[in-house]
Structure 1
């Protein structure tokens, strides 16, 4: 599933193309000395892309035991390439080089991956690219649970339903639909009246209320959205479909690519430093978390290159 999306980056792997695209990008952002900076960053951009693709390509041929490490560092390298399009001085200081996330000390007894948390640090790559690339300000000390993050990835829907008996999101339409259809059952989930939900949803999403049928509220686009910026709705890559989270607090602008970074960071740390627990998870089949993790790894291997290619195409202004 990964390889086709890796090939999307082929046009960016020449100095001439990279320099031309970076120059146009910096010019549009009215960055001083845009031509000089585009020449300076062209090779860095290419090396970041090449290095990232190498990690991701290798991950498709490796066992689950080390796959998260390769996926995480592949993602990090592609993010650095993306950062150069909006931050020509990256890395301007050592404070942005750290991962920007930490994990808690693990409890050896009754530890469950899905209940684990990551905590956002003041400085580091995560906060930096969240801000520069997606205009999302991270709050130092904010914690995110693995359940919270995994339950916002629609491709995991079936696995979550089978293993956890939960349905954390509802289908609202295809990406190409001009109108999305929100089931009225969402009113119970959000504990809202119809009028209150309409106001809330329009405010959170910039969709506009259109009409109502028997069991759905219809909303239309107020502006064109792509897969990368459809949040707070959730995008299913294979189905090209949109879902709405059933938890009201999940209806916030938090691009899905941030979820992938945080989950992969945690999994890569577990691979390296919690080897005994990781080995038992992989080989004893005692936890339903394993199927969720495996499904996530398959999904993220496709969505990382897809989303980050979408970001580059959008930033470079390529139709």
Structure 2
């Protein structure tokens, strides 16, 4: 009688099957979406008009589930431990940063918008607390939007969407602007049309539970004033405010671990399933954990977007010109 023999090949095969199953269930599985009206999050007042005008509008499906709501990171408070970091969905907020970068072609401005949600529930691959999403709006020297980049604050699920203001020779080789692109199970546009849209607004559709970007549109801001939408204002704050969360005793603490192995990661954001299935191939025990977007020379925590350990520096979004070049863009 033949006996089953366990081998390294068997192990890798079953590991691949399990990872694929979680990826499908946690990332590409499409839930039934509710009908309108839909809750949308819009940026509130901010001293710099361009930052507010370019801010994306986030459409939250299944708003009745608090996990699908945008909130403000907080520490302690009623019913919480003094050092517990959590997301206060009664006070939605978006955090912004402005950075410039230069390529051989031109100098560009990035407007970076960061939001956070309470959690992704089990048994999604990305299950964990205090999860976040970033939207990077890249402007050319004429202050026109040429590229939109979305990424979770773990560096996962990055997506690039050029606009009709980006020259064709800046696209990656083989990029088809007429076909929607597949991004880890989501079908996103391959180009956004700003031309001819009066008072354009960038509308980001968020898939419930996993907070994946499931569609991006350019619409007239006037269209979002209709009865089909329920707008909620997000307080706008500088991104470095996340390093100074006010606590009840009048002091401030960081949203991120300031030292040790988890330096630069969001507090309370361990992703056990990603750690179990993805840490070996990425050589990163905290793969999938949300993190700071900051200079890796200071925080020792690059915002890498490739699972290849030898490509962490090339795929780090902090050096945006290098990051774009690594992924084939020719801005």
Greater share of strand residues, 1 or 2? 2
Q: What TM-score comes out, normalization by structure 2 length?
A: 0.27
Q: What TM-score comes out, normalization by structure 1 length?
A: 0.28
